[in-house]
Each structure stands twice: as C-alpha cells, then as structure tokens.
Amino acid sequence: MAILEKVDKLHQAIAWQGDIPITNRYTAGVAGERFLREIKDHARILGTRCPDCDLVYVPAALFCERCFAQLDEWLEVSSQGRVFTFTVLFRDLEDRPLDPPAVLAYVKLNGSNGGLVHYLGEVEPDQVFIGLEVEAVFKEASEREGSILDIRYFRPLKR
C-alpha cells in the first residue's frame, strides 16, 4: 500500500458526514448588560472612560485594556459619528446574491475613541464615502429588546 493512493473516482473517497451539535449562548456581560439596557430603555449609547489613559471605550468595557484599570466612569456619547471605513456586500453567508447590496460600516462615534460596526441605511452605496457624517436610527421603544439590532442602522446626517 502506498502512503498516497490516488483517488480517481469520487465514490472511492469515503467520508463520514456530521456536525457539531451545539448552540452558543453568550451573555452580554457586566459592561455589556448596562450598555445594551441603555440602548433599550433610553436609545442612548454609553461608553466608559479610563481617566489615566484618557480613552472612552465604545462599546462600554469593564476594564481598560491598556492599563488594566477597572472602569466605573460611565458617560453618554453621541449617537452621531463618521464612517471610518465601509464595505458593500453583494452576497450573503450562503453565497446568495444580496439585492439590494448591503453597506456595512465602522462608525466612529463622536465623543469617544470607539464606535460600532453596523449597517448603513437610507443611502445608496455609491453615495457612501469615508468621513461621511451619520447618525443612529433606533427602533421604536416597544420593539427594542436590548440588542445591537435595536439600532436599525446608521444614516447620513440630515442638515
């Protein structure tokens, strides 16, 4: 028997099919719980500030990754910001065409050192540019459930 035997017909390759039968359940965590509840209850985005490093974390974090301080200074940051970078998606996870294409962006929020990855809405893909000023569009209070999807999308700021 050779170590490498050539498979020249597909049916010669025997494979056992299976899966890993699990469902993951992620808690929002200590900081995430407060961050998401504020979006749900008040449509407000919170950050936490590290006084030593002078950084405002969004999404709010329990600790400063740079100096390891526990963060207890919570503050509201703006729900407006700028597109830091973006991409236009033409296919979904199963490789099916997306029509219309979706625009995904990293939005840096004003008054913070962080931001959110989210969809852009009410805008044509070819109108999007880096630096575009945008604002969060929240779902109605009755529809919000403490999820990042309580923000429907970000849309260009209307002047």
Partner 1 sequence: MMTAQIKEFPGVGLRESDFEQRKVLYTEWVPNARYAWDAGVAIGRYLAELKEGRLIGVRCRHCRRTVIPPRVFCEWCFRPMDEWVPLPDTGTVNTFSLCYVTWDMRRLTEPEIPAVIDIDGTHPPVGILHLLGEVEPQAVQIGMRVQAVWKPPEERTGSILDIRYFRPVREG
Partner 2 sequence: MGMRKVAVVGAGMTKFVRRALETGKELAFEAAKMALDSCELTLQQVDCVVHGTAPDAFDGVHMKGEYLADGSGAWRKPYTRCYVGGGTGVFAPIHGWYHVASGLFDICLVVCEEKMSSCQPHPQGAFLTIFDHTTERPLGPNLLWIFALEMNRYMHTYGLSKRDIALVSVKNKRNAADHPCSLLGDREITVEDVLNSEVLAWPVQRLDVSPVTDGAVAVVLAAEHVARRITDKPVWIEGVGWNLDTTYWTNRDLCYPRYVENAARMAYEMAGISEPRKQIHIAEPYDPFDYKELHHLEGLLLFDRGKAPEATALGITQRDGDLPVCPSGGLLGVGNPIAAAGLMKVAELFWQLRGEAGARQVPGQPRRGVAQAWGDLMQVGTVIVMGV
The closest alpha carbon to 121, from 111, 135, 108, 110, belongs to 135
Find the part of the chain contacting partner 1 (CB under 8 A) among 1-9, 44-52, 75-83, 105-113. 1-9
Q: Dmax of the chain from CA atoms?
A: 75
Asked if residue 89 binds partner 1 (CB under 8 A), the reply is no
CB nearer to partner 2: pick between 25 and 158: 25
**Which string of x and - marks every residue 30-49 that binds partner 2 (by CB under 8 A)?**
xxxx----------------
Nearest Cα to Cα of residue 155 among 135, 125, 130: 135
**Considering the rule CB under 8 A, would residue 51 count as an interface residue with partner 2?**
no
36 binds partner 1 (CB under 8 A): yes
